[in-house]
Structure 1
Amino acid sequence: MTHTTAPDVPAETRQTQPAGPGRVADVTTTLEPVTGAAAPATRRFLVPVAAAVTVVLWGSAFIGIRAAGFDYSPGALTLGRVLVGTAALTVMAGLAGKLRLPRGRTLIGVVVWGVLWFGLYNLALNAAERTLDAGTASLLVGLAPILIAVFAGLALGEGFPARLLAGIGIAFAGVAGIALATSSGASDGVSVALGLAAALVYAGSTILQKRLLPRVDSLTMTWLGCLAGTVASLPFAPVLLEELAVAPASATLSVLYLGVFPTAVAFATWGYALTRTTAGRLAAATYAAAPLAVLMSWALLGEVPTPVALVGGALCLTGVLVATLRLR
């Protein structure tokens, strides 16, 4: 499969051919790095900084959801977060002054991506964290890279090498462990299923995003996708208004934090890094989000997953590493 690049797409967003069979880490296409020897040293320094900011903020999102989820229902929390995120991204896009709206099938693809990623993903994760602690939810969502590899094997003909199958088996054992106990020590299959659904939507959205990036710049895509997620979440507006009137200030501040930082800022830094390094290399950084979320949940919320859930989470992460990292 080859991709054509629109004439007005920046040079740094051009993509190479898809990875061959068995190359799971880069999944689909990989972005050409533009940070060669001639690139300014400050730019080479800013790429890992941008990636680190994204990972930390995405890890903190699990904490913010848990903090706001006691006073805001899943639908209201979804709408509140993406509404604030859209407003923040509008300001950022206005300051950047380079929005170029796509047309035709590309526009439809971005809208679908936005509804999935900003709407459905948030709704599933918010519902899961009604009973799951933030750390356990982050460990389940951390399965997304292995699901991306599975999608690549099915849809892109990249096959199922032995290490992918081994990783799937290890991760499945981890999910089974998490399903046995949450932080309350009680089995909650529905919440675990919702966490897995969030990971599934995450993986599918990533595949779709990689297909669309050659045709639209990352800031425009993020802004338009968040706007699409906001429109799709508007049916929850009456509930949001009702809950906003009675929610404590701390919960509302958590919603504002989720919209500005893990949504607007984190996606902006992610897009900056993604256009300047390979997608596979950048994706490896997201493995740190789940352990960070567990630590932040313990420090800020006093929540610690049960030993069984921690062992299950460790197995999930091990399975992801086995399935997606190539030995050199």
Structure 2
Amino acid sequence: MSHRTAVFLMLLVTLLWSSAGAVSRHLDAARGFEVTFWRSAFNALALTLLLPMLRGRDYWRHALPRLRRSPSVLGSALCWAVMYTAFMLALTMTGVANVLVTMALGPLLTALFARVFLHQRLARRTWVAIWVASAGIAWMFANDMRAGESAWLGMGVALAVPVAAASNWTLLQARAGDGDTDLLPAVWLGALLSALATLPLAWPFEASGRDLAMLAALGVFQLAVPCLLVVRLTRELPAAEIALLGLMEVLLGVLWAWLLAGEEPSPAALLGGVMVLAALIGNELLDAWRRPAASKNGEMSL
């Protein structure tokens, strides 16, 4: 897979991920833990069917015994479970913008984790892009933050997402070259753990048929498909670049919330969005310019 193709697929992943906020604003009766339960349950069901289609009919017969013997898969599954649960729960507690700006800490945490645990040397342009993009997102919502208890509680829950994501990307990157470790079941196991953990808190169910249809769509197209893609992309892109490109989810999520749910962004949000796009595009253009030179000199550039 070429680097350009990998970047394009990662942007497609962020497009699919970004739909959750707008869709959650159109639910009829499902709230809180029930939203998280149904989305995770449909995600687990979709992955149960998709993985054998990708890897063969006997996939689960070979994969399930290995789950218990692989600390990497179990660790990644726990990260996925935290991400699934905390993100959707936070969306039911506070605004889309508050959740997404908290998630913007992901690239910085990922870069730091990769530097500490994987000893990856990051180019200065990557550090600059991370700081500019993160500053842009912070600026987008700085004037819109509300200090209400519910908002801050929701942001506290949302904080678990970038911490778990940074841990997961770093773990996936560390095991990307290990042909004996299949990390795709971790996505499925994470969804199953999330559904099981929230089931007691989701009862009694109040979701309407329309709610179930929308949550099923989220489970399949906003979680199962893009999460399988991103696991594959960890073989092609550094952890810091995956997290940096993932910032597009923030920008797109705000856009969908504006267009589809009436959450209009402020002028500060528009200016911050320009900063995010400039950081992402600048990083990719500099990488494309430096890559041929690095190849000629036999050097690696991140």
TM-score range, shorter chain: 0.7 to 0.9
1:203 aligns with 2:166: yes
The 5 Å alignment of 1:271-286 reads 271-275=231-235, 277-279=236-238, 285-286=245-246
Distance 1:68-1:213 versus aligned 2 partners, 3 A rule: farther
Amino acid at match of 1:267: C
Distance 1:206-1:69 versus aligned 2 partners, 3 A rule: farther
TM-score, normalisation: structure 2? 0.72
Q: Secondary structure at the match of 1:214?
A: coil
The 5 Å alignment of 1:221-300 reads 221-231=183-193, 233-243=195-205, 246-275=206-235, 277-279=236-238, 285-300=245-260
- 1:163-215 deviation digits (Å, cap 9, x = unpaired): 63895488368548735524xx6653333333333122111111112223333
**Which structure's residues are more often helix, by fraction?**
2
1:55 aligns with 2:14: yes
Amino acid at match of 2:46: A
Q: What residue is the counterpart of 1:115 in the other structure?
A: 78
TM-score, normalisation: structure 1? 0.67
Unmatched runs of 5 consecutive residues or more in structure 1: 1-32, 37-43
**Does structure 1 retain, via aligned residues, the 8 Å contact 2:187–2:227?**
no
Distance 2:258 2:22 in 1: 10
Distance 1:94-1:70 versus aligned 2 partners, 3 A rule: same
Q: What residue is the counterpart of 1:83 in the other structure?
A: 41
Q: Secondary structure at the match of 2:134?
A: helix
How far residue 157 of structure 1 moved from its aligned partner, in angstroms, is 3.9
Amino acid at match of 1:113: S
**Does structure 2 retain, via aligned residues, the 8 Å contact 1:66–1:134?**
no
Match of 1:191 among 127, 138, 154: 154
Distance 2:155 2:252 in 1: 20
Distance 2:178 2:75 in 1: 15
1:71 aligns with 2:30: yes
Unmatched runs of 5 consecutive residues or more in structure 2: 291-302
Distance 1:304-1:72 versus aligned 2 partners, 3 A rule: same
Distance 2:159 2:284 in 1: 18
Distance 1:91 1:241 in 2: 26
Q: What residue is the counterpart of 1:20 in the other structure?
A: none
Q: How many residues align?
A: 279
**Does structure 2 retain, via aligned residues, the 8 Å contact 1:179–1:189?**
no
Amino acid at match of 1:87: L
The 5 Å alignment of 1:129-168 reads 129-158=91-120, 164=127, 167-168=130-131
Distance 1:175-1:189 versus aligned 2 partners, 3 A rule: farther
Aligned Cα RMSD in Å?
A: 3.9
Q: What residue is the counterpart of 1:96 in the other structure?
A: 54
Q: Secondary structure at the match of 1:242?
A: coil
**Does structure 1 retain, via aligned residues, the 8 Å contact 2:82–2:164?**
yes
